[in-house]
A and B are shown apart, each in its own frame.
Chain A
Amino acid sequence: SQTIHQWPATLVQPVGSPLSLECTVEGTSNPNLYWYRQAAGRGLQLLFYSVGIGQISSEVPQNLSASRPQDRQFILSSKKLLLSDSGFYLCAWSVGAMGVGEQFFGPGTRLTVL
């Protein structure tokens, strides 16, 4: 069966520090991968998606970047965190045509920037 892991579960970082959040998927090949940010009362905002290794698409301009160094690994990064980067970050995967079918979500990372 497929599983998705995210770490760390929680993270507190000072403003201006770098960020690296990791997401890995097991039990499937060539998945579509997604990074979302979830804010209370605002739903899920798609940040990045990837249909293959090294292929990254950004949905909104921001202080973050994403990379996919391996088929089932998706990394969210920042060189210098801002206060506004605080939030709950979710990784998700799907198969088939991008964005059409069911997506499976990870447990999320709660990021607090102080």
Chain B
Amino acid sequence: AQSVSQHNHHVILSEAASLELGCNYSYGGTVNLFWYVQYPGQHLQLLLKYFSGDPLVKGIKGFEAEFIKSKFSFNLRKPSVQWSDTAEYFCAVAGGNNRLAFGKGNQVVVIP
């Protein structure tokens, strides 16, 4: 079964700073990769996804993620964060066992 690791559970940064959240997974086969976001008081929603093709994926609100197969990674980035990016971010991986495995999440706080 696949597993997902997210480091630095709590991230605090100022507006306009750059954000990068790491995601590493363990599974040797073909995977589908996701980043979900949960804004305060809102549903968990999809930020971006990778199934195949260009390993650099662009999502909503200026986020992007890069799939590096050799490193089993799918890191999330945003060049310049805003206060409204305060949220919890989850990386998720779907592998061969028909399960979606989630990481423990990154709680991101952006200070105005």
Contacts and interface: CB of A to CB of B under 8 A. Distances in A.
A103 B45 CA distance: 9
Contacts of B34: 102
A86 B103 CA distance: 20
Interface residues of A, number: 19
Interface string A31-54: 000000000011110100000000
Interface in A2-51: 41-44, 46
B98 A100 contact: yes
A90 B44 contact: yes
Contacts of B103: 43
B7 interface: no
Given A41-B104, A42-B104, A43-B104, A98 B44 contact: no
A105 B94 contact: no
Nearest to A45: B102
Nearest to A106: B43
B11 to A, nearest CB: 13
Contacts of B102: 43-44
A96 B97 CA distance: 14
Interface in B1-58: 4, 6, 9, 32, 34, 36, 43-46, 49
A101 interface: yes
23 contacts: A41-B104, A43-B4, A43-B102, A43-B105, A44-B102, A46-B100, A59-B99, A98-B98, A99-B94, A99-B97, A99-B100, A100-B32, A100-B94, A100-B98, A101-B94, A102-B34, A102-B49, A103-B100, A105-B36, A105-B43, A105-B44, A105-B45, A107-B43
Contacts of A42: 104
B105 A41 contact: yes
Contacts of A103: 100
